[in-house]
Structure 1
C-alpha cells in the first residue's frame, strides 16, 4: 500500500536481515550523500556486507553471523 499523508510509511524489521521500506525513498549516508530509489519497496542493508550499500544484495546470507550480532558469544539478542 503506498505512502500517503494520512498513512505513515511502513518499515519492516527482520531478524538477521535488511530493513524493508515502502518506497520511493532517499537514503542519506554519514557523509551527506543522497542515494535515491523509486521502487515501490526497497531493502536497506543493516549488516554493511552489501557491495551495493545502502541497498541489500543478500550478502548476509552467504556468511555466518558475527559474534557481535547476538547469541551466546555476542551477548543478548
Structure 2
C-alpha cells in the first residue's frame, strides 16, 4: 500500500519565527524526538525560553 505524503511548508515571517506547516519530526539536541502535526513556530532570534520553539519573546 502506498503511503500518501503530506506537503510541508516552511514560511519565514518578517521579524518573527519560522513557521512550519504540516507534519514534522523534531530531533532535539539530546536525541529525543517529537512529532508535530500542525503549524509549529521555531525561534529565529534566540530569545525564547522554550528552545527550539518561539514563545513570542522577540516582541518584548
TM-score (norm 1): 0.57
Comparing both chains, which one has the higher relative contact order based on Cα–Cα distances under 8 Å and sequence gaps of 6 or more? 2
TM-score, with length taken from structure 2? 0.69
| Corresponding residue number in structure 1 for 2:13 | 14
Q: What is the aligned length?
A: 57
> Any unmatched runs of 5+ in structure 1?
63-77
Of Structure 1 and Structure 2, the greater strand share is in 2
Gaps of 5+ in 2: none
Q: Which structure carries more helix by proportion? A: 1
Bigger-Rg structure (1/2): 1
